[in-house]
Amino acid sequence: MSGPSKYQPTSAVGKWFHERLPIVAFAKDHALDFPTPKNLNYWYTFGGILAVMLVVQIVTGIVLVMHYTPQTDLAFTSVEHIMRDVNYGWMLRYLHMNGASMFFIAVYIHMFRGMYYGSYKAPREVLWMIGVIIYLIMMATAFMGYVLPWGQMSFWGAKVITNLFSAIPFVGDSVTTWLWGGYSVDNPTLNRFFSLHYLLPFVLAGVVILHIWALHVVGNNNPAGVDVKGPGDTVPFHPYYTIKDGFVIVVFFMFYALFVFYGPNYLGDAVNYVPANPLSTPSHIKPEWYYLPFYAILRSIPDKLFGVIAMFSSILILFFLPWLDTSRVRSGRYRPIFKLEFWIFAVVCVALGFIGSKPPEPVYVFWSRILTFYYFAHFIIILPVLGLMETPKPAPNSISDDVLGKSSLMPAE
Ligand code: HEM
C-alpha cells in the first residue's frame, strides 16, 4: 500500500543497522509517511485514542498491582490501602477505573463510525473481524478486572455471569465448577481472574498490532467510502494526522479528567464499596454500563439457555456484518434510508442499555423484547434487504472531489 520505502540512512552506522534490521524504515513508512486519505474527519481519530487508552490502562494497572493483594481476605482492604495510603494511589485507581469506561466510550464510537461508513465492507472484512476479537477481549478483561476489588457487586456480578455457563446442556455445571476452580466464586476464582486480567491486555496489544497491520495492508476507508485513486487523494500520516489525533487526544483527556477528578464514582456502583459477602445478595445486581445492552438482551428471553445464546449471538453476529450488508455503496452518507435506520439502531442500543440498568419489571421486560427483536432484525433482515432495495445518492468520483464538494451522477462503487 505504502510503496517502496523512502528511508535512506544518512550515516554509516545507520546504513549498517538498516541492512541488518530495517526497523527505522518500517517505522517511518508506517507511522510517518503512510499515505492516508485526505478527507478523514474527527470520527477517524478514535483508533488513535484507543491505542493511547490501552497504554494508560496497562501502565496504571501495573502500578496498581504493586499494591494490590489477590486474596479474598485482603483484596478489598488492599484497594482501600491504595486509595488512602499509597502516594497518589487514589489517582491511579480512579484513572484505571474510569479509564476502562473511557476505553469503552471510545470503542463504541469507533465501531459505530465503522458501521456508518461501511468500513467493514470489502476489502476490510478481516480488519473488522480482528476488531470484533479485540472487543471480545476487552469485555472479558474488564469483567475480570471488576471482580478484583472484591466488593459486593464484584462478587455477585461474577456469580451471575459465571452461572450463565451452567445453562449449557449436559456439561454446564462442570464448566462452571471448572471456571470457579471450586464449588463457588471464591479465592481460586479471584486468583485466576487476577492472573487473566493481567495477561489479557498484553494479548490485546498483540491483536491491536494485527489490527493496524490489516489496516496498513488495505489502507483507511474514508467518509466518502470511495477508494484511493492516486497520490492526489492522500496526505502523509505525519504531520497531518499526528497533529489532528494529538489534538483530539488532549480534548479526550480533558473529558477523562472530568470524571477522574470531579466524578470518579459517577459511572460506578456505590454497592461495590461494601466488601463482598456471599451470604447477602444485593437487591439489584447489574453490570457496568458498557455491558448493559447485552444484559438487557439476556434478560429479555424467559429461558436461561436461550437468553445466554441470544446474548452471545448479539455480539458474535458482528463477525458476519461484512456479508449481511448487501449494499454496493460503502458509505452511509450516500444511503438515505440506511442513514435513518442507522440512527434508529443506535437509539435501540442505547435504549437496551437503559433497560439493562433497570430491575426486570414487566414494562421493561416488554420493551426489552421489542428492542431485542429490532436489534437482530437490523442485522438479519433490514441490512440485507435494504442493500438490495435502496437507491443510493450520487457519490463523489474521488476523494479529491469529495474534498472539493463535487459529486458525480454515478452511484459510488
Ligand atoms: C483497542 C482497541 C482498538 C484499537 C487500538 C484500534 C485501533 C485502530 C486504528 C488506529 C485505526 C485507524 C484509525 C481510525 O480509523 O480510527 C483503526 C481502524 C479501524 N478499526 Fe479499530 N481499533 C480498536 C478496536 C476496534 C474494534 C472493536 C473494531 C470493530 C469491531 C474496530 C474496527 C476498525 C475498522 C473497521 C477500522 C477501519 C476504519 C476505516 O478505515 O474506515 N477497531 N482501528
Is residue 114 over pLDDT 50?
A: yes
Atom from ligand 1 closest to the CA of residue 318:
30
Average pLDDT score over residue span 271-285: 97
Structural domain harbouring 108: 32-287
Residue 158 confidence (pLDDT): 98
Q: Are residues 216 and 82 in the same domain?
A: yes
Q: Are residues 176 and 264 in the same domain?
A: yes
Whether 399 is covered by a domain: the verdict is no
Cα distance between residue 77 and residue 136, in whole Å? 30
> Is the distance from CB of 79 to CB of 85 less than 8 angstroms?
no
Q: Are residues 232 and 152 in the same domain?
A: yes
- Tell me the best of 115, 215, 379 to mutate to test the pocket of ligand 1, counting ligand atoms within 8 Å of each CB and taking the most: 215
Q: What is the pLDDT of residues 162-175, one digit of tens each?
A: 999 999 999 999 99
Whether 410 is covered by a domain: the verdict is no
Q: Please name every residue paired with 118 in a beta bridge, in sequence order, or none if there are none.
A: none
Structural domains counted in the chain: 2
Ligand 1 centroid–CA 47 distance in Å is 5
Average pLDDT score over residue span 112-116: 98
Q: What is the pLDDT of residues 196-238, one digit of tens each?
A: 999 999 999 999 999 999 999 999 999 999 999 999 999 999 9
Average pLDDT score over residue span 38-43: 98
Ligand 1 centroid–CA 14 distance in Å is 33
- Tell me the best of 40, 53, 134, 330 to mutate to test the pocket of ligand 1, counting ligand atoms within 8 Å of each CB and taking the most: 134
Q: What is the pLDDT of residues 48-102, one digit of tens each?
A: 999 999 999 999 999 999 999 999 999 999 999 999 999 999 999 999 999 999 9
Nearest CA to ligand 1 atom 12: 47
Residue 406 confidence (pLDDT): 78
Residue 413 confidence (pLDDT): 46
Atom from ligand 1 closest to the CA of residue 114:
35
- Tell me the best of 30, 34, 38, 50 to mutate to test the pocket of ligand 1, counting ligand atoms within 8 Å of each CB and taking the most: 50
Q: Which of 224, 259, 287 is the last residue of a domain?
A: 287
pTM: 0.96
User: Of 373, 371, 385, 372, which Cα lies nearest the Cα of 324?
Assistant: 385
Q: Are residues 295 and 239 in the same domain?
A: no
Cα distance between residue 155 and residue 398, in whole Å? 55
Kindly report which listed range (6-10, 32-36, 71-75, 366-370) carries the lowest average pLDDT score: 6-10
Q: Are residues 187 and 299 in the same domain?
A: no
Pocket of ligand 1, beta carbon within 6 A: 44, 46-48, 50-51, 54, 107, 110-111, 114, 117, 119-120, 124, 127-128, 131-132, 134-135, 208, 211-212, 215, 220-221
Whether 397 is covered by a domain: the verdict is no
Q: In which residue are the cell numbers 462442570 written?
A: 174
What's the CATH number where 371 sits? 1.10.287
Report the chain's mean pLDDT, rounded to a whole number: 96
Structure confidence at residue 4 as a pLDDT band (50, 70, 90): confident
Q: Are residues 295 and 282 in the same domain?
A: no
Is residue 411 over pLDDT 80?
A: no
Residue 407 confidence (pLDDT): 66
User: Of 140, 138, 131, which Cα lies nearest the Cα of 210?
Assistant: 131
Q: Are residues 271 and 311 in the same domain?
A: no
Q: Which helix (H) or strand (E) holds 37?
A: strand 35-37
Q: Are residues 378 and 243 in the same domain?
A: no
Average pLDDT score over residue span 92-114: 98
- Tell me the best of 53, 110, 317 to mutate to test the pocket of ligand 1, counting ligand atoms within 8 Å of each CB and taking the most: 110
Whether 229 is covered by a domain: the verdict is yes
Ligand 1 centroid–CA 315 distance in Å is 17
Cα distance between residue 267 and residue 288, in whole Å? 8
Q: In which residue are the cell numbers 493483594 written?
A: 69
Residue 2 confidence (pLDDT): 55
Q: Are residues 342 and 230 in the same domain?
A: no
Nearest CA to ligand 1 atom 39: 221
Average pLDDT score over residue span 15-28: 97
Structure confidence at residue 412 as a pLDDT band (50, 70, 90): very low
Residue 268 confidence (pLDDT): 96
Residue 154 confidence (pLDDT): 98
| 262's grid cell | 470531579
User: Of 213, 225, 198, which Cα lies nearest the Cα of 131?
Assistant: 213
Q: Are residues 61 and 92 in the same domain?
A: yes
Q: Are residues 185 and 293 in the same domain?
A: no
